[in-house]
Amino acid sequence: MPTESTFLLAGLFLLLAAAGWAMGRFGEREEEDPPPPLNIDYLRGLNFLLNEQTDQALEHFLKMVRVDDKTIETHFALGSLFRRRGEVDRAIRIHQNIIARPDLAAEQRDQALFSLAKDYLKAGLLDRAEKMFVRLSQGSRHQVEALENLCSIYEQEKEWQKAIESGQQLEVLGGRSLGLQIAHYYCELAETAALAKDYGSARRYVKNAQTGRPRTLRGALTRAHIARETGDSKTALRLYHRIIDEHTYLIAEALPEIVAIYTREDQLDELDKALKSMLQKNPQMNTLVAYSAIVNNIGGIPIIDECVEKYMLDEPTLKEFVDVQRLADGDVSAMAKTRSALSKIATATPRYQCQECGFSSQRLLWQCPSCRSWETQRPASRVQFDTLLQHSIT
């Protein structure tokens, strides 16, 4: 069956014929080279198309129609069309053909290089794309776009130092702040260093992250985590409590860490007091504490258990499945079973959702894999029954 590319090329051949080029006038022939009465290349090209040999037809088109000032836009348009349709090999062939022309103007060469770099990117050939974008970022009218693409490539390759450098260049050239994005690059470096127990480097990276504006919440969490890992419980707790005070939703990340520190310090009574005081000031946090406790299987701490019980009694969907009266009567076995079931549901359903595009995931992702935005995910505040109910209906 003929593909869309076949029709596309057939259309181009017919257009050329209609323009009179098929009579031997396409390309710039030498004056002493008289045009043939009917161009045999044109017929060959059409023959390939009729036999659905699209690649051969394309090669033929490229041989027939030399890249010059009159035809270059057609070549670019064709390359772009192939790329958009996902036929990257063909797009690459077209753009390489443009670059091969020796007397190409600098601007056209840059445009061809930029198009080829985008082809490589689409084909997943990141190293080749990177080389071209680096070249373009050093001086071309595609400098800004090249740097944007380099940031994206370095993010995928987890080359954070290079991402920082490209981001900083982009800030200067593009005239806009990328403070949050660059802060996250530093946090990536800090987390890697902390994982390798190189806490000195980790602290330096966090410090760099914290100088950016707007500040990333991740920097504060990483700083608290480093303090915890290095045994500085006092600093870690101070930082975690501050994080929760300023951004209540981050209790989903902070609660397990806080509980671990109070347990290590054998100060669970202090935790009970601290959480009670927080809930008095901010009663709506009950749900967040309960949800975080359910997801992370945190129990045995009176105030947290109280939050979970209250949550179970107030959860409207739960009334459809369990005898809530038994829970209200304090039936320990019913409580434990319900809590265990909720925990299973919570860990099997999405916990975080991007506020920009709706992408959801099980763990917190600082950069949304779908829309590439930074710090746009927020945790759910309740166990998500929707997905479960949809599964049971279908």
Does residue 361 bind Zn ion (CB under 5 A)? no
Does residue 371 bind Zn ion (CB under 5 A)? yes
Does residue 163 bind Zn ion (CB under 5 A)? no
Nearest CB to Zn ion, comparing residues 150 and 354: 354
Question: How many Å apart are CA 382 and CA 379, to the nearest integer?
Answer: 9
Q: Which of residues 182-201 bind Zn ion (CB under 5 A)?
A: none
SS3 call for 102: coil
Region from 10-18, 229-237, 307-315, 369-377 binding Zn ion, contact rule CB under 5 A:
369-377
SS3 call for 308: helix
Q: Which of 370, 381, 382, 388 binds Zn ion (CB under 5 A)?
A: 370
Does residue 354 bind Zn ion (CB under 5 A)? yes
Return the residue matching tokens 């290089």. 113
Q: Which helix or strand (DSSP H or E) is residue 353 part of? A: strand 352-354
Region from 16-24, 159-167, 177-185, 359-367 binding Zn ion, contact rule CB under 5 A:
359-367
HSE-CB at 15 with a 13 A cutoff on CA atoms is: 10
Q: Minimum distance from CB of 274 to Zn ion (Å)?
A: 34
- Spatial strand order of the sheet with 360-361 comes to 360-361, 352-354, 377-379
Q: Minimum distance from CB of 178 to Zn ion (Å)?
A: 18
Nearest CB to Zn ion, comparing residues 138 and 355: 355
Region from 41-49, 281-289, 338-346, 351-359 binding Zn ion, contact rule CB under 5 A:
351-359
Q: Minimum distance from CB of 377 to Zn ion (Å)?
A: 8
**Phi then psi dihedrals of residue 354, to 5 deg:** -75, 130
Tokens of residue 390, six digits: 């949809």
Region from 260-268, 330-338, 357-365, 381-389 binding Zn ion, contact rule CB under 5 A:
357-365
Q: Which helix or strand (DSSP H or E) is residue 377 part of? A: strand 377-379
Q: How many residues bind Zn ion (CB under 5 A)?
A: 7
Q: Minimum distance from CB of 365 to Zn ion (Å)?
A: 9
Region from 133-141, 254-262, 290-298, 356-364 binding Zn ion, contact rule CB under 5 A:
356-364
Does residue 206 bind Zn ion (CB under 5 A)? no
Q: Which of 356, 364, 382, 388 binds Zn ion (CB under 5 A)?
A: 356
Q: Which helix or strand (DSSP H or E) is residue 319 part of? A: none
Q: Minimum distance from CB of 355 to Zn ion (Å)?
A: 8
The one-letter amino acid at 282: N
Region from 39-47, 89-97, 102-110, 368-376 binding Zn ion, contact rule CB under 5 A:
368-376
Burial zone of 262 (CB within 10 Å; 0-12 exposed, 13-18 middle, 19+ buried)? buried
Question: How many Å apart are CA 179 and CA 360, to the nearest integer?
Answer: 25
Does residue 357 bind Zn ion (CB under 5 A)? yes
Q: Minimum distance from CB of 371 to Zn ion (Å)?
A: 3
The dihedral of CA 239, 244, 245, 249: what is its sign?
A: positive
Region from 164-172, 212-220, 294-302, 347-355 binding Zn ion, contact rule CB under 5 A:
347-355
Q: Minimum distance from CB of 353 to Zn ion (Å)?
A: 9
DSSP annotation string for 69-83: TTTHHHHHHHHHHHH
Does residue 359 bind Zn ion (CB under 5 A)? yes
Question: How many Å apart are CA 300 and CA 183, to the nearest integer?
Answer: 37
Question: How many Å apart are CA 346 and CA 386, to the nearest integer?
Answer: 11
Q: Minimum distance from CB of 358 to Zn ion (Å)?
A: 7
Query: CB–CB of 66/28 below 8 Å?
Result: yes
The one-letter amino acid at 171: E
Does residue 168 bind Zn ion (CB under 5 A)? no
Return the residue matching tokens 């063909």. 90
Does residue 364 bind Zn ion (CB under 5 A)? no
By CB under 5 A, name the binding residues for Zn ion.
Answer: 354, 356-357, 359, 368, 370-371
